[in-house]
Amino acid sequence: MAHHGIAHKYSKRLIAFEHNPRPPASRDPHTLLWVGGLTDGLLTVPYPSAIAQEIPSNWVIAEVLISSSYKGWGTGSLARDARELGECVAYFRRLRPGTKIVIMGHSTGCQDIMEYLLGKGNEEREAVDGVILQGGVSDREAWEDYYKDGEKRKELEEAISVSKALVDVGKGREILSPESNPVLKDMGGPLNAYRAYSLLAKGGDDDYFSSDLSDEHFATTFGKIPKSTPVCFLLGSKDPYVPASINRAALLQRWTRIIREGGGVVDDEDGGVIPGAHHNLDDDPEEVVQDLVKRVCGFISGLVSDKSPKWEKAGTHL
């Protein structure tokens, strides 16, 4: 299937693909940058194409390729992702001065957003006008849930121990053998010790969304998101990477409360738990996909409205 669009070369080896099913109403439209999760690349997740069909006429959506796309994640880091996203945002700021830029993350793309906003060097990166976190889940809790019983739990603990030992002696870049441990084999590769530890261990660099982190910890992450960057959370009611023991709505309410306590802004009118949605909505019914599309379009429309969105002063219900 052909997808019409524009390939923007935002750095020497990386591009962003701007969907263009119809010409935008403005020569300088606002830009929604979409970044995927582990193993994702251009057009590997279907719903950005659905957003492109319905996005307001003064907006466009572009899928961002980073070095971690496809198989690159196993030897990458959130820090590298954030640096590259910074290059992409800077490119579109130069291309379309005076317009809005929103980043939408899917899965680990949500961790990339958190790193972009809060990680080392964030003060040197271009500010963005909003962020959407879709399918922001804890890799650690997902693996703990999958490897929770008996021998499987021992295998998970061994994978973390082996990875940590290499990181501790400065060998974090060493590629792990997938045959040495079932967890490492399931994770795929190539995978180095640093990224395995980052994804699997409590307090690893990827560990932004775990439900067992304290409010005090979340105050140092979610609580530091600036008011100038409104947030929209989207999480599927059937996302298989969220353990059944976790109350999804309550978790989003908690993050929302902490952001607001820090002075930040959350859209809980458009955001929330999407009924019937899986992790990337692949093969979900059309009405479920359109529910997500409507929420995304509602959020970005509110950012350019002449009237202040209701959610700027909304409560914490979801």
Any idea where the domains of the chain sit in the sequence?
Answer: 5-138+215-313, 142-200
| Total-model pTM | 0.95
pLDDT at 26: 75
- Burial zone of 256 (CB within 10 Å; 0-12 exposed, 13-18 middle, 19+ buried): buried
Task: Indicate if the pLDDT at residue 306 is higher than 80.
Answer: no
The stretch 121-141 carries a mean pLDDT of 98
Task: Indicate if the pLDDT at residue 77 is higher than 80.
Answer: yes
Beta strands 15-19 and 231-236, pairing class: unpaired
CATH for 5-138+215-313 is 3.40.50.1820
Task: Indicate if the pLDDT at residue 313 is higher than 60.
Answer: no
Q: Which of 132-136, 185-189, 211-215, 222-226 has the lowest mean pLDDT?
A: 185-189
The CA distance from 90 to 106, in Å, is 21
pLDDT above 90: percentage of residues in the chain: 91
pLDDT at 217: 98
The CA distance from 97 to 107, in Å, is 29
The CA distance from 202 to 157, in Å, is 11
Q: Which of 19-33, 113-127, 209-223, 292-306 has the lowest mean pLDDT?
A: 19-33
The stretch 98-119 carries a mean pLDDT of 99
Q: Which of 89-103, 137-151, 252-266, 299-313 has the lowest mean pLDDT?
A: 299-313
Q: CA–CA distance from 308 to each of 208, 255, 268, 311 (Å)?
A: 30, 22, 14, 8
- Retrieve residue 317's tokens: 């219900």
pLDDT at 214: 98
Beta strands 15-19 and 5-9, pairing class: antiparallel
Task: Indicate if the pLDDT at residue 315 is higher than 60.
Answer: no
Residue with more model confidence, 148 or 209: 209
pLDDT at 316: 42
Radius of gyration of the chain (CA): 19
Q: Which residues of 191-215 are buried (b: 16+ CB within 10 A; e: fewer)?
A: bbbbbbbbbbbeebbbbbbbbebee
Please compute, for residue 54, the number of CA atoms within 13 A of its CA located in the half-sphere on the CB side.
Answer: 16
pLDDT at 32: 99
Task: Indicate if the pLDDT at residue 314 is higher than 60.
Answer: no
| CB 60 within 8 Å of CB 92 | no
